[in-house]
Structure 1
Amino acid sequence: MKLSDYSEFPANIPVIVEDELFLYPFMIAPLFLSDESNIKAASKAIEESSLVIICPTKPSHEGERGFESLYNAGVVGSIMRKVSLPDGRVKVLFQGLARAKVISKVSDSPLVAHVDVINATNVSSLKIDAILEILREKVRTLAGVSNYFPPDLLRTIEENHDYNRIIDLICSTVKLKKEQAYKLFVESNTEKRFLDLIEYLIDEIEANKLQKEIRSKVHTHIEKINKEYFLKEQLKQIQKELGSDTSREEEIEEYRKKLETKKEKMSTEAYKEIHKQIERLSRMHPDSSDASMTQTYLDWALEIPFGQESKKELKISEVENQLDKDHFSLEKPKERIAEFFAVKELMELRGVKDSSGAIICFFGPPGVGKTSLANSIAEALKRPLIRIALGGLEDVNELRGHRRTYVGAMPGRIVQGLIDAKKMNPVVVLDEIDKVAKTGRGDPTAALLEVLDPEQNKEFRDYYLNFNIDLSKVIFIATANDVGKISAPLRDRMEFISISSYTPQEKFEIASRYLIPQELKKHGLKKSELSISKPALKELIHSYTREAGVRNLRRRIADMSRKVAREILEHPEITKVSLTLKNLKDYFDKTVFEIEKTTKVPVLGVVNGLAWTAVGGDVLKIESIRIKGKGTMQLTGSLGDVMKESAHIAYSVVKTLIDTKRLQIEDSNIPLSVKEMEDGIKIDPSEVYKRYDLHLHIPDGATPKDGPSAGIAMVSVISSILSSRKIRSEIAMTGEVSLSGDVLPIGGLREKLIAAHKADMSKVLIPLKNYERDLDEIPNEVKESLEIVPVSRIEEVLELILV
């Protein structure tokens, strides 16, 4: 089929759009048409027995079907066959005949264009033959470095003498970009087509040579790596068979070297145990589980810092300065800590060897600075600080280490702490020692007995290591909230330093000096951007926190800082935020009334007792009512056994006072029956407790309470309700009462008096013995605001309290 069999050109013929590739005149190619416009163009060509032109789309317009998206050149040819496929597409068999150029658009639906054939210009046969020979040479070269040209195609290029056919054959074979293919396709000058194609082939030859060289290098490298790997694996197997695995020997030799460098600083027992395990490892099969376990053991054991200690010279002045820098108030604890280190410094100066470690226990409510005191001590001594949290610890092996027979065994926390510290004399904080749990897996407090005993901790045995560790140079500092929950043998090995509640004035100073500057820094605020007035800070301390320490106060200041930071971001014009009593509520959600203020009005059947709790002191309002009955007493308020017994003792004491006329009862207080009133019978006032039932209640009912120190308060409230005499509400009291009426001493006096001070009490009754021995521990601010009255007998209490 020839072009001359059809109408003369230029002519109007349908256009089929091809997205993927350029077609060339010599091609017979199947085309799959799914686009409606292409299908219409093919149908029109078949119906009118005309040619079609297949034009490729420009790279940035693929998928579009407008004339502006097409190259203005393509292949003119005929559709030999058309078949409709089940999926809606149409398959046509196209035969290319000639290159052609689109002159103008004729129609959009279907696409029809005015097309003319591209005729090659006349060229010098001699010159073009020379260029053709160069082209064939480049094709042969490219074929040698790539797989573009199969042998039969090379033979066709060599034997063919149609210049443009040769160019079209080469262009259809090599990977041309659409723009390059278009330039070569549309060019009518055959010589220029040859030269442009040669230039492209030169570039392609260089690119393929480079790719071939890279592939060759990569392949060689991979082959080398694989060869080395296989050779090494073979060598390992040969060495294993011969028993001469050098890598394993090197590893074991490294363990031996480490052991020898530490030999002089470790005990003989430790050296023997580690040496024995190294020798065992050398005899084991490297892939056995025992070898892995022994290797792990050696890694742990050889990490212990034998003989390594902090060498800083101890100076008591530095310790005192650090404590004063980090903590306000706490005079007694600071004094005790300073005394301890003064002894150590004196022993160092006089060359006396100190073989006992320090075991100090700071105890007191949460948030008063127990752990931070330990931090300050470590900072002053320039020793590493190790914190071991004992809260909820159940398994004794957590401290002593697991025996190596168990899977996942490791040293105990104390040995791990020494390894982390890289020193044998760190400061170790045993936090929350009162919360250690005793279960079926052992009693951790029993392990702590050895750790905290200066006579025993020279040879602390860790089950995992299986040799003794000297802990005598470690400074152990324990912390606890409630000393009563620590086992008696453990308490015997510690020296206790009480850190009790802060007064409101102390909290004010701590907040001003430490908490506010620290929180401003944490929240990215400058000192100039926030100011809080003294009244506002005092109100924050008094009404928005409920604690003995300052932890919640820090949280409230942090809340305030976050709100201030947000305010400054949302309102850039604000340069400073000032907190006063007026706007304090804008920065805090709600107040927490820690202790109810006294009303100063005498009340019947209500007395102010003072209590010690784990979070500081508190004022207990003990209430009582009487009901006609037979002399029974009901107790409510979640009371413990000791407190219930104290209430029964108080009731018996009041009965004795009534019987012996030391508590006067008016006749009007005696309830009479109708018959007794008609008969005019006089009843002895001492029978008052036989005719009333009493109900004693201590709010709040959900909080457990126990202890004997509310004894005199219970006597006072029962006496008030039976004698109908009111109790002075500005007076608070604490003290245990005996059956004979003696007032016995109590504990926690500091916290109780601070609570009375916060509640604005004017007078406090305390046992005489506490007055004589404990008053110097009370802050001056509390002593100045309260009238503290010592009492030794219950009669003195009733004389002062009853109106």
Structure 2
Amino acid sequence: MKIDRYFTENEDPSDNAFSLIADFDGTEDQLFDIKVDSNIPVLPLRNMILFPGVLMPVSIGRRSSLKLIKEAEKKGSYIAVVCQKMAQTEEPVLEDLHRIGTVAKIVRLLEMPDQSTTAILQGMVRMELKEITSTHPYLRANVDVLEEEIPQKDNKEFTALVDSCKDLTIRYIKSSDILHQESAFAIRNITNPMFLIHFICTNMPLKIEQKIELIKIPLLSVRAQKLLEILTREVQLEEIKASIQLRAREDIDQQQREYFLQQQIKTIQDELGGSGQEQEIDEMRIKAEKMKWDLETKNTFLKELAKLERTHSQSPDYSVQLNYLQIMLSLPWGIFTTDNINLKNAEKTLNKDHYGLEKVKERILEHLAVLKLKNDMKSPIICLYGPPGVGKTSLGKSIAASLKRKYIRMSLGGVHDEAEIRGHRKTYVGAMPGRVIKSLVKAGSSNPVFILDEVDKLGNDRQGDPSSALLEVLDPEQNSTFHDNFLDVDFDLSKVMFIATANNLNTIPGPLLDRMELIEVSGYITEEKIEIARKHLLPKEMEANGIKKTDIKIPKDTLELIIESYTRESGVRELEKKINKIFRKSARQYATDGYFAKTEIKPADLVDFLGTPEYTRDKYQGNEYAGVVTGLAWTSVGGEILFVETSLSRGKGGRLTLTGNLGDVMKESAMLALEYIKAHASLLNLSEEVFDNWNIHVHVPEGAIPKDGPSAGITMATSLASALTQRKVKANLAMTGEITLRGKVLPVGGVKEKILAAKRAGIKEIIMSAENKKNIDEIQDMYLKGLTFHYVNDVREVFAIALTDEKVADAVDFSVKKAAKE
């Protein structure tokens, strides 16, 4: 095998240099008749493709590649040469490499003056990577040699194709400033068609994607056709560029390269019908004339527009500046929707969308009435708070619909970056306006109904406190000049109707809470849930599941059983899921059998649709035992009843034990109750010795559920008093209230939810602080029906009402009289 050499006209053949292509005595068969192991080393290249038959110098940089080259050169073995998909990948794996490459042989290694190593590689035959077998000390892989299909020498069409490629390449070289003109001499002297095509593919300054596409083509004739298409396009581009340069050169100085490039771009744009940048700026200037801006805002915009004109379109600052101006033009400056001030229609809309919620509806109608009288009013900041699923967010939609305003919802749950509210300064990379401004752009008006959802779940970290940023947004005295960092001009938010929603007011900072008008959206009783299900949930879920109103009916008694036995919540979200589940199962049965087996879902059918009941109603458990008292508790899903149990056991020291997963405040309530009874033992006619000879154990059942809060104070005191006196507690009685060391009964919260829980459990009488009477007076009579309230100020009054004179069977007497006899 010999390596033929092609020389330029000015080159001495005796020079010790390497040929550009290898001819193998002119027969391609010799090129492919090589023995290649299936598992060979892999040399990944950056932005380089080696074709069969071509010699190519490669500078070796990686240590692993250097080790590979030296070992392969020493052993005289073949290597697989492939191109990386991403040039910056330092340790490529199979997914980082193009699969098609070339089997190559190392012709020589050269130590360069800068201490680097250059390998002269000779392409042999195309191959395909199958799998990586080793990564250390360098890549090794299994490969499949790909056969080349070369046309016959007497194929005239292929010969013409090769000649065309040769001519176009020479034309490209002559019009290009990148390639040496002497390269054309080498091209003319290559007679072998295959090596000519591969030489052009390797050495032409084509995109790496184009070279990958070429080496993947199995037929040499198809590869030559594709190369001809690429060369034709490149030659045309070079000639167009030469023409543009010729026209631009008359007006510019050779030394001003930047200006020269700008002139080229301008000439191209002129050919296409004018500068897009100029057209865009003119359009923005025309829009600015129509905007309802004050003088300061208009001057700011024109100043920034002039800055955009001076900025080069290829500069990174151009897109930032353009984005800023587009947002300024997109904001609804002075654009307002006309409010629908028809109170009857508004009330009708609110009643149609929501059942109950009388306080909230009354407040909205009051706002509309004032707006109608004054015809201009700063919108209020309303905060709807209550348990999940009671309709706080959906109420905002109804308010927007009743006012005929645009509706925007912004969820604040998990937001912990101040820039989410105020935006970033536009000097930062990737700067954006805050979510308030972006939402107004989306709404297209300056007086939408803006829902700030889950305002109690705002976070804060090193990037600032978003709740503090909301202070300006939610202050009617400040939000007329809201300042977004990105916009950097004031925007009027005073006409926006902000409605915040929250589950828990305790996590909202005080200053933020002070700016909002609080409206409680409390839980629903069973009767209300039934009406909500009939009027809203059933039609909605029927439509969602493709069921007609006449197909399936769910009567009231079935809905009541779903509410009582399959859900435990203040709202109706879980109820909606259960109804959806019933319709889903019905839809599946209809799709399978072609008819509805159950056209009316009766209470007995619920087990088939929803399984066994998930919850049992909290029920009053009687007063047969001393020391067992019913209390009322508030939870995030509504009110519940709880039982406080006290038992006595003999033991020195009078130890108090508290169990039932109680929090610190609840434990303190138990200790306060015991200390009060010790201090006022004579009130209950108790011997003081009982506290020294009997241990006291207070337990609150359902130990898996954490319990805390002061509202069980009088419940624990009554339980201790009942156990120590062995007197029964009045039947069907529950109580709630905080106790002090002096025996005072303090008011508690969650009154409505606690009353609902008492009604569900069959309680008839409730004891609470006299200060809670004002809360009872605000509750509708329908909630209070069947209940008797005892308002107390002192624990003595609680004992007088709750403890009966009847003692339990086998009672132990701890009275003073009994102790004196002993």
For Structure 1 versus Structure 2, the TM-score category normalised by the shorter chain is 0.5 to 0.7
Name the CA distance, whole Å, in 2 between partners of 1:227 and 1:498. Answer: 76
1:651 maps to what in 2?
674
- Kept after mapping to 2: 8 A contact 1:735/1:767: yes
Corresponding residue number in structure 1 for 2:452: 430
1:440 Cα deviation after fit: 1.9
Alpha-carbon spacing, 1:379–1:222, altered in 2? closer, same or farther (3 Å): farther
2 CA distance for matches of 1:224 and 1:241?
Answer: 20
Partner of 1:122 in structure 2? none
- Using a 3 Å threshold, how does the CA distance of structure 1 residues 225 and 785 change in structure 2: closer, same or farther? farther
Given that 1:458 and 1:469 are in contact with CA atoms closer than 8 Å, whether structure 2 keeps it comes out as yes
The reply to whether residue 318 of structure 1 matches residue 345 of structure 2 is yes
**Alpha carbons of structure 1 residues 419 and 227: separation in structure 2 relative to 1, 3 Å:** farther
Aligned to 1:664: 685
Percent identity at matched positions?
42
Structure 2: tracts of 5 or more residues without a match: 1-155, 161-230, 249-258, 270-274, 805-822
The one-letter amino acid of 2:550's match is: S
1:788 Cα offset (Å): 2.2
CA displacement 1:76-118 (0-9 Å, x = unmatched): xxxxxxxxxxxxxxxxxxxxxxxxxxxxxxxxxxxxxxxxxxx
Q: Does 1:558 align with 2:580?
A: yes
Residue in 1 that maps onto 2:797: 796
In the alignment, the residues of structure 1 paired with residue 368 and residue 504 of structure 2 have an alpha-carbon distance, to the nearest angstrom, of 26
Alignment correspondent of 1:697: 699
After TM superposition, list the pairs within 5 Å mapping 1:127-138 onto structure 2: none
**Counterpart for residue 411 of structure 1:** 433
Q: Which residue, 596, 604, 619 being the options, matches 1:582?
A: 604
1:601 to partner: Cα distance? 3.9
Residue 541 to residue 243, structure 1, CA distance change in 2 (3 Å): closer
Normalised TM-score (structure 2): 0.65
Query: In structure 1, what is the equivalent of residue 761 of structure 2?
Result: 759
Q: Which residue is 1:139 aligned to?
A: none
Task: Say if 2:589 and 2:597, in contact at 8 Å, map to a contact too.
Answer: no
Residue 606 (structure 1) shift: 2.0
Deviation at 1:687, TM superposition (A): 2.3
Flag the 1:149–1:405 CA change in 2: closer, same or farther, 3 A: closer
Distance 1:321 1:234 in 2: 76
1:256-405 map, 5 Å: 256-262=285-291, 265-348=292-375, 353-354=376-377, 356-405=378-427
On the 8 A contact 1:424/1:473 being kept in 2, the answer is yes
Tell me if the contact between 1:743 and 1:767 (Cα under 8 Å) persists in the aligned partners: yes
Shift of 1:392: 1.2
Question: Would the aligned equivalents of 1:385 and 1:421 in 2 still touch at CA under 8 Å?
Answer: yes
Q: 1:373 to 1:250 in 2, by over 3 A?
A: same
| In the alignment, structure 1 residue 619 sits paired with structure 2 residue 621 | no
Residue 72 of structure 2 corresponds to none
The whole-number CA distance in structure 1 between the counterparts of 2:789 and 2:683 is 25
Taking the aligned partners of 1:721 and 1:235, their CA distance within structure 2 comes to: 108
- Taking the TM superposition and a 5 Å limit, the aligned residue runs for 1:609-758 are 609-627=631-649, 628-658=651-681, 661-665=682-686, 685-728=687-730, 730-758=732-760
In the TM superposition, residue 230 of structure 1 has moved relative to its aligned partner by 7.8
Deviation at 1:508, TM superposition (A): 0.9
Contact kept in structure 1, 2:347 and 2:361, CA below 8 Å: yes
Partner of residue 54, structure 1: none
| Superposition pairs of residues 166-245 of structure 1, within 5 angstroms | 240-241=262-263
Taking the aligned partners of 1:574 and 1:325, their CA distance within structure 2 comes to 30
C-alpha displacement of 1:576: 5.1
Query: Which digits, 9 at most, give the CA deviation of each residue in 1:514-553, with x for residues without a partner?
Result: 1111111110001111112322211111111010010100
Distance in structure 2 (CA, Å) of the matches to 1:775 and 1:149 = 102
Task: For 2:470, give the aligned amino acid.
Answer: L
DSSP-derived class of the 1:652 partner: helix
Kindly tell me the number of residue pairs found equivalent between the two proteins: 564
Rounded Cα–Cα distance in structure 2 between residues aligned with 1:633 and 1:149: 106
Kindly indicate whether residue 486 of structure 2 is the aligned counterpart of residue 485 of structure 1: no
Q: 1:573 to 1:319 in 2, by over 3 A?
A: closer
Query: Which amino acid in structure 2 is aligned with residue 339 of structure 1?
Result: E
Q: CA deviation at 1:221?
A: 12
- CA distance in 2 between counterparts of 1:594 and 1:396 reads 46
C-alpha contact 1:525 1:565 (8 A) present in aligned 2: yes
Equivalence for 1:675: none
CA contact (8 A) 1:597 1:760 kept: yes
Partner of 1:256, secondary structure, is: helix
* Alignment deviations for residues 577-607 of structure 1 (CA, whole Å, 9 cap, x no partner): 2211221111102323264211334332222
**8 Å Cα contact 2:410/2:451 also seen in 1:** yes
Q: CA deviation at 1:388?
A: 0.8
Q: Distance in 2 between matches of 1:261 and 1:497?
A: 41
SS of 1:455's equivalent in the other structure is coil
Partner of residue 518, structure 2: 496
In structure 2, C-alpha distance between the alignment counterparts of 1:460 and 1:291, rounded to whole Å = 26
Name the CA distance, whole Å, in 1 between partners of 2:409 and 2:566: 31
- The one-letter amino acid paired with 2:656 is M
CA distance in 2, matches of 1:609, 1:230: 93
Deviation at residue 656 of structure 1 after TM alignment: 2.3
Matched ranges for 1:18-97 at <5 A:
none
* Structure 1 equivalent of residue 478 of structure 2: 456
* Partners of 1:310 and 1:423 within 8 A in 2: yes
The one-letter code matched in structure 2 to 1:782 is Y
766 and 239 in structure 1: CA distance in 2 versus 1, 3 angstrom threshold:
same
Give the Cα separation in 2 of the matches to 1:788 and 1:571: 56
Q: Secondary structure at the match of 2:729?
A: coil
Contact 2:390 2:524 in 1 (8 A): yes
**Alignment partners' CA distance in 2, 1:234 and 1:564:** 78
For residues 693 and 621 of structure 2, the distance between their equivalents in structure 1, rounded to whole angstroms, comes to 32
AA paired with 1:784? K
Instruction: Output the CA distance in 1 between the equivalents of 2:328 and 2:693.
Output: 78
- Distance between the aligned counterparts of 1:229 and 1:635, measured in 2? 90
8 A contact 1:599–1:729 mirrored in 2: no
Matched residue, 1:102 = none
Secondary structure of the residue aligned to 1:529 is coil
Q: Shift of the alpha carbon at 1:225?
A: 9.4
Distance 1:599 1:232, change over 3 A: farther
How far the C-alpha of 1:797 sits from its partner, in A, is: 1.4
Q: How has the CA–CA distance of structure 1 residues 601 and 648 changed in structure 2, closer, same or farther, with 3 Å as cutoff?
A: closer
Q: CA-to-partner distance for each residue in 1:446-466, whole Å, 9 max, x for gaps?
A: 111110000000111101111
**What's 2:465 paired with?**
443
Q: Supply the distance in 1 between the matched residues of 2:236 and 2:402 (Cα, whole angstroms).
A: 60
Cα distance in 2 between the residues matched to 1:361 and 1:536: 35
Say whether the 8 Å CA contact 1:529–1:576 is kept in structure 2. Answer: no
Q: Which moved more, 1:792-801 or 1:374-383?
A: 792-801
SS at match of 1:277: helix
Paired with 1:401 and 1:533, the residues of 2 have a C-alpha distance of: 52
1:445 positional shift: 0.9
**Aligned residue number for residue 80 of structure 2:** none
Counterpart residue type for residue 685 of structure 2 = Q
Q: For 2:476 and 2:544, how far apart are their aligned partners in 1?
A: 41
- Mapped partners of 1:269, 1:339: distance in 2: 37
Q: For residues 347 and 594 of structure 1, do their structure 2 counterparts lie closer, same or farther at Cα, with a shift above 3 Å needed?
A: farther
CA distance in 2, matches of 1:453, 1:360: 11
Mind listing any 5+ residue stretches in structure 1 that lack a counterpart?
1-145, 151-218, 666-684
Aligned to 2:150: none
- Does the CA contact (< 8 Å) of 1:360 and 1:477 recur in 2? yes
CA–CA distance in 2 between the matches of 1:418 and 1:594? 48
CA gap 1:568/1:241 in 2 versus in 1, 3 angstroms: closer
Alpha-carbon contact 2:589-2:595 (below 8 Å) kept: no
The answer as to whether partners of 1:427 and 1:476 remain within 8 angstroms in 2 is yes
Alpha-carbon distance in structure 2 between the residues aligned to 1:569 and 1:272: 66
Task: Give 1:243 shift.
Answer: 9.9
In the TM superposition, residue 711 of structure 1 has moved relative to its aligned partner by 1.1
Matched, 1:255 2:284: yes
SS in 2 for 1:532: coil
1: CA distance, partners of 2:618 / 2:793: 28
Secondary structure, in 3 states, of the residue corresponding to 1:596?
coil
**2:803 is matched by which residue type in structure 1?**
L
